[in-house]
């Protein structure tokens, strides 16, 4: 199994669920994480990543960490200072249309979105709300391109798009697609040589459907146009994702593996969860399992069954622990001498 991993955690793209998988694997195998200094949750985002943002990194005696997975703005030469040269790099993408709809709800307080009554209003005259000088503007435009380290306001030319796609392809071993999350987990399992239980998951940081907007065709086209860099990235890597499956895997084998993954998840849900799945935040009984609520989104969570034996309870708890709580626990474990 591969134990040296860089995951570029792209915002609002099911990346919290991937992070939980990495946290669980790292904890089980006693691996080290490249935590933000002071135990925060972002590596000085939205600045480009620098090695000095990592707790315990000293240039004069650089320590290599096994897993780098907290939010950052990608800059590979700096990333290479904190992980092994043999590290596997992967990230995840999401359809920019859904990504922007989600971002509008989640980042409602940002400068670009706060004054717009709706996504429609924002898109009707984006530059009325979007200010190139604001440090949080990237949440409203080409958020994926930004997280990969590129300029979200760059002019979209064929040459720039080619440069961007080539740079991503050169740096990353695998790009997952959040709309095909189960297939993505199968590919990830294969790439990392992990077993099935290492990539099972319960979706984390997901919204209550009541806060999701239905988008008209007109709005969809406007979103694609406004996020053209993201759209180019998504279209390209969605295509290469399926090409990879056809080339290395085959659709039939993929279907079998996805079926096995879903069956194991259903089994774990029966073992671990009260009820049939996720619940609204005010229905989560254990406050330590309540996810952070942000913007206008209602973030769902889980209740664990009572009366489980100790080992099962620990396994179930790991599966449903929200990102911030899990990160904090692992930070305390890795830096026992430091209060987060």
Mean pLDDT of the chain: 95
Res 208: pLDDT: 78
- pTM for this predicted structure: 0.96
Residue 71 to residues 17, 62, 193, 282, 304, Cα–Cα distance (Å): 13, 21, 25, 27, 28
Compute the distance between CA of residue 261 and CA of residue 99 in angstroms, rounded to an integer: 25
In a domain, 263, yes or no: yes
In a domain, 272, yes or no: yes
In a domain, 340, yes or no: no
In a domain, 222, yes or no: yes
How many domains does the chain fold into? 1
In a domain, 328, yes or no: yes
Compute the distance between CA of residue 57 and CA of residue 162 in angstroms, rounded to an integer: 34
In a domain, 128, yes or no: yes
Q: Which of 17, 21, 319, 18 is nearest to 195 (CA)?
A: 21
In a domain, 52, yes or no: yes
Q: Domain residues for 290?
A: 5-335
The string of pLDDT tens digits covering residues 257-279 is 999 999 999 999 999 999 878 99
Could you tell me the CATH number of the domain that includes residue 15? 3.40.50
Q: Are 302 and 17 in contact, with CB atoms under 8 Å apart?
A: no
The string of pLDDT tens digits covering residues 147-198 is 999 999 999 999 999 999 999 999 999 999 999 999 999 999 999 999 999 9
Res 294: pLDDT: 76
Compute the distance between CA of residue 287 and CA of residue 279 in angstroms, rounded to an integer: 13
In a domain, 266, yes or no: yes
The string of pLDDT tens digits covering residues 198-212 is 999 999 988 877 778
Q: Residue 25: is its pLDDT beyond 60?
A: yes
């Amino acid at each position: 199994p591969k134990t040296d991993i860089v995951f570029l955690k792209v915002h609002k793209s099911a990346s919290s669920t991937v992070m939980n998988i990495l946290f669980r694997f790292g904890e089980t195998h006693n691996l080290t994480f490249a935590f933000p200094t002071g135990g925060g949750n972002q590596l000085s985002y939205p600045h480009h990543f620098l090695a000095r943002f990592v707790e315990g990194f000293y240039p004069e005696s650089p320590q290599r960490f096994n897993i780098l997975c907290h939010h950052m703005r990608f800059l590979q030469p700096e990333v290479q200072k904190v992980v092994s040269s043999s590290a596997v790099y992967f990230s995840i993408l999401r359809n920019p249309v859904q990504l922007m709809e989600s971002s509008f709800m989640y980042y409602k307080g940002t400068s670009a979105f706060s004054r717009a009554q709706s996504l429609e209003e924002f898109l009707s005259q984006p530059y009325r709300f979007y200010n190139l000088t604001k440090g949080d503007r990237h949440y409203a435009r080409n958020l994926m391109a930004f997280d990969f380290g590129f300029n979200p306001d760059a002019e979209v030319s064929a040459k720039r798009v080619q440069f961007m796609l080539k740079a991503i392809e050169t740096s990353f071993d695998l790009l997952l697609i959040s709309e095909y999350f189960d297939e993505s987990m199968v590919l990830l399992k294969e790439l990392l040589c992990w077993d099935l239980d290492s990539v099972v998951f319960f979706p984390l940081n997901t919204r209550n459907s009541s806060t999701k907007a239905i988008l008209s065709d007109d709005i969809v086209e406007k979103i694609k146009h406004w996020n053209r860099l993201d759209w180019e990235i998504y279209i390209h890597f969605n295509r290469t994702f399926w090409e990879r499956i056809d080339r290395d895997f085959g659709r039939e084998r993929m279907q079998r593996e996805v079926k096995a993954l879903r069956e194991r998840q259903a089994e774990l849900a029966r073992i671990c969860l009260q009820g049939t799945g996720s619940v609204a935040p005010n229905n989560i009984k254990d406050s330590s399992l309540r996810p952070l609520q942000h913007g206008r989104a209602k973030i769902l969570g889980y209740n664990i069954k009572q009366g489980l034996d100790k080992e099962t309870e620990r396994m179930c708890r790991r599966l449903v622990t929200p990102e911030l709580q899990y990160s904090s626990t692992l930070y305390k474990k890795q830096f026992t001498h430091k209060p987060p």
